[in-house]
Chains A and B, each alone.
Chain A
Amino acid sequence: MLRQTKITALDGPPRLAGQNRIRLLGLCFALGFAAIGGQLVRINVMKPADDLNAELAKHQDRIPRPDIVDRFGNVLATDIAVASLYADPRKIPDVDEAVEMLSAALPDVDAADLRRKLLKPRSAFAWIKRQVSPEERDAVYNLGIPGVAYVNERKRVYPQGRLAAHTVGYVDMDTKGIAGIEKYLDNAGAIYTASLADPQKQVAAPAELSLDLRVQHVMTDEIGKAIEKFKAIGGGGIILNIETGEIVSLVSLPDYNPNAEEKVFTRDQQNRMLSGVYELGSVIKAVTFAMAFDYGTINMNSKFDARYPLVIGNARINDFHAQRRVLTVPEVFTNSSNIGTAKMALETGLERHQEFLRKVGLLDKLETEVPETARPLLPKRWSRIVSATAAFGHGFAVQPLQGLSVVAGILNHGKLIPPTFIKRSKEEAEVLAQQIVKPSTSEKMRTLFRLNATEGSASKADVIGYRVGGKTGTAEKVVRGRYSKDHRLSSFIGAFPMDKPQYAILVMLDEPKALAETYGFATAGWNAVPTAGKIIERIAPMLGEEPQFTEADLEKLAKLEKLEKQKKP
């Protein structure tokens, strides 16, 4: 280069042209290097970041499905990684040997069936076993058979099986929720599901339900036993936390196993507590009483003439346990007098009765997180006879949960809290509360409920020490368009402890039969009530309720103890 410049300097005019050409060439090279340099910087500095983001995005494109746990974190539903083993039969050198090794590693695989699959001519793919455990996968992988491999799949499992299956629901083959909370997580509760996911990590916090598995089990156990004992066709029950509206337990029997491969369930297995509507019968009297107290139609000393059946048009309303005398308000309640309650509703007035039922939500569909809910069945026209029968729970049908929720609201100082399956604090519940009756009305209703358990139809649920209160109901079911005396729905709605109600309980038995042991009776007092008593005795300590005893209680206990001692030797 040095020499060239010297020459060009000597030559004169051509020098200039040559120099320009070199400059141009130099500029081109400089641009080229700059481009390469820029590219290098882009690739080395920018690109890795892009790659990383793309990698993260791949995992984040779907929000991971959250686990479902009960209020104490016990797993109800979770995703597990499973491997599915498959084979390419063309690549297996010795099928007989492979079958022998595989059936030794997987004891539940049928060897003959596997051999037939692998010996099928011209086949390039065959499942050996789908959804195997990691141990099985490793065992097969370590056999090292050519042509045998696995793919990873995700599977939703329900470790608790049937327990709480109606609440949790289930998913289809593509892990899309099709029932219960599982469906809620995908549809109505999509925002809730998204709130559980942590965008920084690929994990989602579990969905915490309000259920308590121990209580759930006790309910399933006792109601199952009752169904068997009274030869009922089904049954169910709910425990509701009165102050927060949390559903601590919801049982509907017969239930189903959500782990079943084929999810074909019969109508009988539906959720009776939400998807079924029932005429709840006398338990609805509690609502009528609360209404009459609240509008000032009655007070504790009012009297009702129950000597003769109530005649409206060509309909006659009679009492099941006919007393044929003038009853006071507490007596109307404890004797469950239809005549008295119907008169109460009529005195309050058609308009106000309807308005009150609307206010407490019995005329509308109750929506919770579990999507399978039924609309109430209501009379088309509101007349005197409709009002009179609705007063004692006939002629309109609601979800059992609706009935319990309203009673819980009445007992909770008149504050109705919408029931929920998701864990909720007292403060959150306070915001949602709606005043349906005055606190003084609530006070009176508590007295009546307790009275009915100490000396009324619910006495068999009065577990000594836990101050239970409740109302029974036996409704005749409509069979082929007529009320049938042989097809009954017996129910109990109660709460404990009655001096400061914490938990409301509903127990329902569908078509219980009379037994010799129950002296031929098939009314709620003989089946649903003792079942509720057994449940309360088992769950009250779990729920942290402290027993308290009065003098009378202690005497009763002493007597019981004596009886037991006599029995033993």
Chain B
Amino acid sequence: MLKIVNAFLVVAVLVSGYALYELEHATRGEERAIASGKRKIDETREAIKLLKAEWSSLTRPERIQKLAAQHLQLEPTRAQQFVNLEDLRTKVPETVPVKLEEDGKDPIGDILKKMQ
């Protein structure tokens, strides 16, 4: 009787030992995955921060104003240029000021193409 009990206990020890080892191993793997995931999150977060800072620096109003003055023929909007939606019909100019499609010209598109 005791023999059987002992044999059973030995097998139990072996099995539980193996199970414990397996569990431990799996846990370590998960922990590594979590750590590397966290590191990736941190790295991505840093990269986002850096890109945001760069974006902010590139969209400085001062810089945009300079670029606009260089590349565009635009002026600040004047009060009298605002038109109510109701008055729109009476404000259509006789000659259309911009005829991009007709001339086949697209100045902004050209600038974009050049930048690419």
Residues of A within 8 A of B (CB): 2, 44, 48, 67, 74-76, 78-81, 134, 157, 159-161, 163, 203, 213-214, 216-218, 220-221, 463-466, 537-538, 540-541, 546-547, 549, 557
Contact B82 A546 (CB under 8 A): yes
Question: Does B76 sit at the interface, judged by CB under 8 A?
Answer: yes
Residues of chain A within 8 A of B55, CB atoms compared:
75, 159
Complex CA gap A218/B65 in Å reads 10
Complex CA gap A76/B2 in Å reads 79
Q: How many residues of B contact A (CB 8 A)?
A: 25
Contact B53 A221 (CB under 8 A): no
Complex CA gap A44/B74 in Å reads 70
Other than the given A78-B49, A159-B54, 19 more pairs (CB < 8 A) read A48-B27, A78-B52, A79-B49, A80-B50, A80-B53, A81-B49, A134-B50, A159-B55, A159-B60, A160-B57, A163-B60, A216-B61, A217-B62, A217-B65, A218-B61, A220-B62, A221-B65, A537-B78, A537-B79
Question: Does B46 sit at the interface, judged by CB under 8 A?
Answer: yes
Complex CA gap A549/B56 in Å reads 37
Q: Which A residue sits closest to B54, measured CB to CB? A: A159
Residues of B within 8 A of A (CB): 2, 24, 27, 45-47, 49-50, 52-57, 59-62, 65, 76-80, 82
Residues of chain B within 8 A of A547, CB atoms compared:
79-80, 82
Complex CA gap A81/B40 in Å reads 14
Contact B82 A78 (CB under 8 A): no
Q: Which A residue sits closest to B79, measured CB to CB? A: A465
The answer, among A2, A75, A217, for a CB contact under 8 Å with B56, is A75
- 19 A/B residue pairs, CB under 8 Å, sorted by A: A44-B24, A67-B49, A75-B53, A76-B56, A80-B46, A80-B53, A134-B47, A159-B57, A160-B56, A161-B57, A216-B61, A217-B60, A217-B65, A463-B79, A464-B80, A538-B76, A541-B77, A541-B82, A547-B80
Q: Which A residue sits closest to B76, measured CB to CB? A: A538
Complex CA gap A78/B54 in Å reads 11
Q: Which A residue sits closest to B45, measured CB to CB? A: A203
Residues of chain A within 8 A of B50, CB atoms compared:
80-81, 134
Residues of chain A within 8 A of B54, CB atoms compared:
159
Chain B nearest CB from A484 CB (Å) reads 35
The answer, among B24, B60, B77, for a CB contact under 8 Å with A160, is B60
Contact B61 A537 (CB under 8 A): no
Contacts A81-B46, A203-B45 given: A557-B53 contact, CB under 8 Å?
no
Residues of chain B within 8 A of A221, CB atoms compared:
62, 65
Complex CA gap A134/B79 in Å reads 47
Contact A163 B61 (CB under 8 A): yes
Complex CA gap A492/B77 in Å reads 24
Residues of chain B within 8 A of A213, CB atoms compared:
61
Complex CA gap A80/B52 in Å reads 10
Contact B79 A217 (CB under 8 A): no
Contacts A80-B46, A221-B65 given: A549-B80 contact, CB under 8 Å?
yes
Q: Which A residue sits closest to B64, measured CB to CB? A: A217
Complex CA gap A537/B82 in Å reads 12
Residues of chain A within 8 A of B46, CB atoms compared:
80-81
Please name the 3 residue pairs, one residue from A and one from B, whose CB atoms are nearest each other, closest first: A465-B79, A217-B61, A159-B56
Residues of chain A within 8 A of B77, CB atoms compared:
541
Contact B49 A80 (CB under 8 A): yes
Contact A537 B53 (CB under 8 A): no
The answer, among B2, B45, B60, B82, for a CB contact under 8 Å with A161, is B60
Complex CA gap A45/B65 in Å reads 62
Chain A nearest CB from B78 CB (Å) reads 7
Complex CA gap A538/B79 in Å reads 9
Complex CA gap A221/B63 in Å reads 12
Complex CA gap A163/B57 in Å reads 11
Contacts A214-B61, A463-B79, A466-B79 given: A159-B53 contact, CB under 8 Å?
yes
Looking at A79, A157, A159, A220, the one whose CB has the most chain B CB atoms below 10 A away is A159
Q: Which B residue sits closest to A40, measured CB to CB? A: B20
Contact B79 A74 (CB under 8 A): no
Residues of chain B within 8 A of A79, CB atoms compared:
49
Complex CA gap A80/B42 in Å reads 12
Chain A nearest CB from B61 CB (Å) reads 3
The answer, among A2, A80, A537, for a CB contact under 8 Å with B76, is A537
Chain B nearest CB from A221 CB (Å) reads 7
Complex CA gap A192/B27 in Å reads 40
Complex CA gap A28/B84 in Å reads 96
Residues of chain B within 8 A of A466, CB atoms compared:
79
Residues of chain B within 8 A of A537, CB atoms compared:
76, 78-79
Complex CA gap A217/B66 in Å reads 12
Chain A nearest CB from B24 CB (Å) reads 8
Q: Which B residue sits closest to A547, measured CB to CB? A: B79
Chain B nearest CB from A413 CB (Å) reads 26
Chain B nearest CB from A497 CB (Å) reads 11
Chain B nearest CB from A568 CB (Å) reads 14
